[in-house]
């Protein structure tokens, strides 16, 4: 039983090709999987956990542009032929992932149309998130964007409670920590979330959706590879 949804979807011969030299590894909260313009020779297929893609400027400002869980893969740039990542990728909520060397990934892609189709479809889902996050930051308030980020995190963690710090949320939203603390306090006073010692609990998901901008519902429709595959 494979918990990563892409691996689970593959035909068994394609799966064997991809995972021939792969191994499942534990990933700790805060661990950086890809640094900016850093060459790493692995792609990751999460079995559990939430992983964040951050876009940055040369001066160090960062914005979270996409979240990935066990529906996806990390290392999209390898799939597209690049050697280094234009985004930083780190572990928001700890978990596990299948780690596959770039040579194995390329060999599997050369020999499996099914794998290539699936991973390109998943890349479309991530590109959609990046585009949506970029537009969202222009038009929507920190409280709305925080609500969206928490709802997506909850979906990917598949749990109402997950570990995340205000520092991480501030980095994701591209704002100072005080603004996240203010927005989170507002959501907590409304009874939508509860935050204590690094553990955030969504108490009222429907209420959170009601205060969230429209970008959450729009991005949910295109959140996984399935949205881009031919029926
Ligand atoms: Zn929005």
How far apart are the C-alpha atoms of 220 and 4, rounded to whole Å? Answer: 18
If pLDDT is split at 50, 70 and 90, which confidence band does 159 have? very high
For the residues 169-177, what does the mean pLDDT come to? 93
The helix (run of H) or strand (run of E) holding residue 199 is strand 199-202
CA of 2 to the centre of ligand 1 (A): 33
How far apart are the C-alpha atoms of 103 and 108, rounded to whole Å? Answer: 9
CA of 136 to the centre of ligand 1 (A): 4
3-state SS string over 42-60?
A: EEEEEEEEEEEEEEECCCC
How far apart are the C-alpha atoms of 126 and 223, rounded to whole Å? Answer: 7
Residues near ion ligand 1 (CB < 5 Å) are 136, 140, 213, 215
134-146: per-residue pLDDT in tens? 999 999 999 999 9
Check whether 230 has a pLDDT greater than 80.
no
CA of 17 to the centre of ligand 1 (A): 40
Tokens of residue 67, six digits: 């979240």
| DSSP structure class, residue 228 | G
Tokens of residue 52, six digits: 């964040």
CA of 27 to the centre of ligand 1 (A): 29
Q: What is the pLDDT of residue 231?
A: 67
CA of 149 to the centre of ligand 1 (A): 10
CA of 134 to the centre of ligand 1 (A): 9
3-state SS string over 106-149?
A: HHHHHHCHHHHHHHHHHHHHHHHHHHHHHHHHHHCCHHHHHHHH
CA of 150 to the centre of ligand 1 (A): 13
Check whether 221 has a pLDDT greater than 90.
no
82-109: per-residue pLDDT in tens? 888 889 999 999 899 999 999 999 999 9
Determine the angle formed by the axes of helices 142-157 and 166-173, rounding to 10 degrees: 110
33-37, 113-117, 186-190: range with lowest mean pLDDT: 33-37
Q: Is 223 exposed, middle or buried (0-12, 13-18, 19+ CB in 10 A)?
A: buried
CA of 229 to the centre of ligand 1 (A): 26
């Amino acid at each position: 039983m494979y918990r990563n949804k892409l691996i689970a979807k593959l035909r068994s011969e394609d799966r064997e090709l991809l995972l021939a030299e792969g191994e499942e590894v534990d990933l700790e909260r805060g661990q950086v999987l890809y640094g900016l313009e850093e060459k790493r020779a692995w792609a990751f297929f999460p079995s559990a956990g939430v992983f964040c893609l951050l876009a940055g400027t040369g001066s160090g400002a960062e914005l979270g542009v996409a979240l990935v869980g066990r529906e996806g893969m990390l290392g999209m740039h390898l799939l597209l032929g690049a050697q280094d990542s234009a985004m930083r990728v780190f572990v928001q909520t700890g978990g596990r992932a299948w780690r596959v060397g770039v040579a194995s990934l390329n060999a599997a892609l050369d020999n499996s149309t099914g794998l290539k189709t699936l991973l390109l479809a998943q890349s479309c889902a991530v590109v959609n998130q990046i585009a949506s996050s970029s537009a969202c930051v222009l038009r929507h308030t920190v409280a709305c964007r925080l609500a969206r980020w928490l709802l997506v995190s909850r979906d990917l963690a598949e749990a109402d409670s997950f570990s995340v710090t205000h520092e991480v949320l501030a980095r994701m939203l591209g704002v100072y920590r005080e603004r996240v603390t203010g927005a989170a306090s507002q959501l907590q006073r409304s009874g939508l979330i509860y935050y204590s010692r690094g553990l955030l609990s969504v108490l009222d998901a429907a209420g959170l959706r009601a205060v969230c901008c429209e970008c959450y519902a729009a991005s949910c429709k295109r959140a996984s590879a399935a949205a881009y595959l031919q029926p």
